[in-house]
Structure 1
């Protein structure tokens, strides 16, 4: 499937006409699945690699949705002795979800070595002004090549490291993952913590009128068809203005999630030698 071209369909939760509460319930389900599958175990490795290459320990999570996997990754890295300060951002920020993540972080990581903050105003990933290592987890495939390229170009122009992690494009995942994620939505709905009105709405939209399982299945299939292959990522990187001022790493982490990553770290020229900042 790596050799097939990317197919740019539209996911239901990306549609403007999709009610905001549905998008929130959907992204909360995705965050719950991150916890359920321990995605942080594999997703943390590309960020750890970027930090070893000299990336900033201030993490700016773009397209954070309802919190995403970065707070889970932060806690895993903390256990490994790697300390980070995370700022959650989104074009449509879910401030209540960000506040819950922040409160949970303070409870689980009371030491000031690792913090979670957020930006309550919209942050455009193609024109981000927040300094730090940008991370994009599970969202890069949502953007067509021109927009995806602008996100990378903005990182190069502002000389900020960037770590992009998505699932690799694979026939096995297209055939298997949509069923597993849909099953996770069906099984997890009673255990997700929400205010009572939204909790009841989740149950109704999961079991009585199964809108959420249908959204998860449909969007999972479309997501895998939209994933960028490694060759497409390489062409995108090669087409950036000033790409030679960064060191780029593209690879796949072995494991259940099939985490494919793109890492860009700016280079610093000193005394005729080039090294990662």
Structure 2
């Protein structure tokens, strides 16, 4: 699917109730982690880290941290035992991060708000964005990439879908049923999450809308490369974009950029 529509997602709206947004993020974190959505990109990320000589990863737009811990564990188990990930977000979620930090060595979090398009000085590391790049319209997406280029740090953008019509069909049918089934098992436990899932089902309804819109807003590989080249007109980075497939069929769309001068 090459079509890209800049529709709105409820979770992006400043007035959207925090309790509903948190419930949606908790569900996404659970699903991404349980299904190990980002497992296929670990070799790509490891290669980029080795290429740049970095073991510190700075995750932008971390949300509730879905999939991060699994990626870190795999990196540490496959040749990067000193890898570390620092979670950051424009709207930090310390409650959602607390259990992740307690159970995953090498994972840390930044309590202050971090703008992904203008990362403060003093935050080193290879930058990554999981499941969030589609939230940025073209100008902001370009600014996010340009900030990494100006700081001469590598960057990887990863979206947990291949941007296909059947993924929208799944978001409308299978995934809502899964959400109703797994919500009681999501930790940390939350009465509000149960109430707004089963009594007044706002969390599932808004998740359906935002899930479909997320796919429509995603940049396919060709558009990712266009953004990258506009953000890096001097060609100081080497850019690669594409899709990788999970063993059970799902795809991850990615863009990776590394400074050319880092090549050995």
Aligned partners of 2:250, 2:124: CA distance in 1, in Å? 29
SS at match of 1:26: helix
Q: Residue in 2 aligned with 1:236? A: 227
Who is 1:147 aligned against?
Answer: 140
> C-alpha deviations, 1:173-227, integer Å up to 9, x for none?
12224433322221111111225xxx21111111111111111111111111101
Q: Among 163, 172, 176, which residue is 1:169 paired with? A: 163
Task: Specify the alignment match of 1:85 in structure 2.
Answer: 84
Q: Which residue is equivalent to 2:18?
A: 20
Q: Is the 8 A contact 1:230 1:251 kept in 2?
A: yes
Question: Is the aligned partner of 1:276 residue 2:263?
Answer: yes
Which structure 2 residue ranges, 5 or more long, are not aligned? none
CA drift of 1:249 comes to 0.8
Structure 1 residue 98 and structure 2 residue 101: aligned? no
SS of the residue 1:53 aligns to: helix
Deviation at 1:58, TM superposition (A): 0.3
Paired residues of 1:247 and 1:276 also in contact (CA < 8 A): no
Which SS does the other structure have where 1:123 is aligned? coil
Aligned to 1:156: 149
Instruction: Tell me the SS of whatever aligns to 2:235.
Output: helix
Consecutive unaligned residues of structure 1, counting only runs of 5 or more, are: 107-114, 269-274
SS of the aligned residue for 2:97 comes to: helix
Match of 2:188 in 1: 194
2:157 and 2:256 in contact (8 A); partners too: yes
SS at match of 1:253: strand
Q: Is the 8 A contact 1:60 1:86 kept in 2?
A: yes
Contact 1:33 1:181 in 2 (8 A): no
**How far apart, CA to CA, are the structure 1 residues paired with 2:171 and 2:263?**
37
List structure 1 segments (4+ residues) > 3 angstroms apart after TM superposition. none
Structure 1 pair 164–244 and aligned structure 2 pair: CA distance change class (3 A): same
Cα distance in 1, alignment partners of residues 263 and 67 from structure 2: 26
Separation in structure 2 between the aligned mates of residue 207 and residue 36 of structure 1, nearest angstrom: 22
Correspondence for 1:254 among 245, 250, 258: 245
- CA–CA distance in 2 between the matches of 1:40 and 1:94? 21
Cα deviation for residue 144 of structure 1 reads 0.2
Q: Which of 104, 127, 148 pairs up with 1:134?
A: 127
Aligned match of 1:272: none
Aligned counterparts of 2:172 and 2:263: Cα–Cα separation in 1: 39
CA distance in 1, matches of 2:51, 2:171: 32
**TM-score normalised by L of structure 2:** 0.92
Partner of 2:54: 56
Aligned position for 2:260? 267
Q: Does the CA-based 8 Å contact 1:55-1:161 persist in structure 2? A: no
The one-character-per-residue Cα deviations of 1:115-145 (angstroms, maximum 9, x if unpaired) are: 1111100000000131100000000001100
Q: Distance in 2 between matches of 1:178 and 1:265?
A: 37
